Amino acid sequence: MDGLQIRGSIPALVTPFRGGAVDFDALASFIEWQIAEGTTGLVPCGTTGESPTLSHAEHYDVITRTVEVAAGRVPVIAGCGSNDTATAIAHMAHAEKVGADAALIVVPYYNKPSQAGLIAHFTTLAERSKLPIIIYNIPGRSVADMSTETMAVLAKLPTVIGVKDATGNLARVSAQREACGADFIQLSGNDDMALGFNAMGGIGAISVTANVAPKLCAQFQAATLAGDFRTALAINDRLYPLHAALFSDASPGPTKYALARLGKMTPEVRLPICEPSAASKAAVDAGLAHAGLL
């Protein structure tokens, strides 16, 4: 799929559980709802999908099912990252085999690789798979932070097409635009910064809030991409308390609580994530009400 079609509101999908197992029926229904509400892409098996707690078999089954249900209607960007290059290669091989449109590859976490290590890791993945790669730079979780200079080197590889930027530094958008070119896809990884991110050259968000408010997030993104920032600001004001509430406890606990309130799935999470606190639940309820969703 043409990389330019990767834009707009793209939820980092939660993985529904029931009785300790992946609830594939709930996943299918959830994806259908997302597409009907205007979602423009899907990311299975990201952090919000609790990928660290999924077995490899579950990980692969979730990606396969997402591709099957999406059926080419929106691009599927499969979470394929690992802190082990060989494992990331295996994840990409499966995603490519079952028809995913691209791979989201997080900067290797815990190992703290050097910039040279990052170049070697992503170059190896690009050499071993034909899947387009979107780099996921999230130093708050991975510790390692991919520099703009490193990203510019990787952007020269034909299959490295963009970045999900969760650095929290809006100036990176301009720096990366200058270093990697205006066609390099930049997606926000922070819902609360998506308005400014797109104003500075981004073309979408890989979003947590879009799990819960897909129509509003899609409308918000469409407004920014049309240059209608007055409308986008009004939607952002509706969504901002929800953006904050969904991170008022360890993610995706609050998001799954919100989805349970909306009747989409159970609130079940896997350890070490646990049920959100009473204060977090109250914040989610208030955020849903403020957005007009409850």
As a whole number of angstroms, the distance between CA 145 and CA 109 comes to 10
As a whole number of angstroms, the distance between CA 246 and CA 239 comes to 11
How does residue 3 score in pLDDT terms, banded at 50, 70 and 90? very low
Does any domain span residue 159? yes
Per residue in 175-185, is it b (16+ CB within 10 Å) or e — as a string? bbbebbeeebb
Averaged confidence pLDDT in the chain? 97
Q: Could you report the per-residue pLDDT of 277-294, keeping only the tens digit for each?
A: 999 999 999 999 999 999
Q: Could you report the per-residue pLDDT of 232-244, keeping only the tens digit for each?
A: 999 999 999 999 9
Q: Could you report the per-residue pLDDT of 16-74, keeping only the tens digit for each?
A: 999 999 999 999 999 999 999 999 999 999 999 999 999 999 999 999 999 999 999 99
109, 164, 257, 264: the catalytic one is 164
How many separate domains does the chain show?
1
Is 164 one of the annotated active-site residues of the chain?
yes
Does any domain span residue 51? yes
Going across the sheet that includes 133-137, the strands are 8-11, 204-207, 185-188, 160-165, 133-137, 102-106, 77-79
Q: Could you report the per-residue pLDDT of 61-71, keeping only the tens digit for each?
A: 999 999 999 99
pLDDT of residue 1: 39
Does any domain span residue 247? no
pLDDT > 90? residue 4: no
Does any domain span residue 97? yes
Q: Is 18 left (phi over 0), alpha (psi -120 to 50) or beta?
A: beta
As a whole number of angstroms, the distance between CA 242 and CA 170 comes to 21
Does any domain span residue 223? yes
As a whole number of angstroms, the distance between CA 235 and CA 227 comes to 14
What CATH number did the domain enclosing 107 receive?
A: 3.20.20.70
Q: Which domain holds residue 168?
A: 3-231
Does any domain span residue 261? no
Q: Could you report the per-residue pLDDT of 74-109, keeping only the tens digit for each?
A: 999 999 999 999 999 999 999 999 999 999 999 999
Strands in the chain per DSSP E: 8-11, 17-18, 21-22, 77-79, 102-106, 133-137, 160-165, 185-188, 204-207
As a whole number of angstroms, the distance between CA 133 and CA 3 comes to 10
60, 109, 136, 257: the catalytic one is 136
Q: Between β-strands 8-11 and 17-18, what pairing exists: parallel, antiparallel or unpaired?
A: unpaired
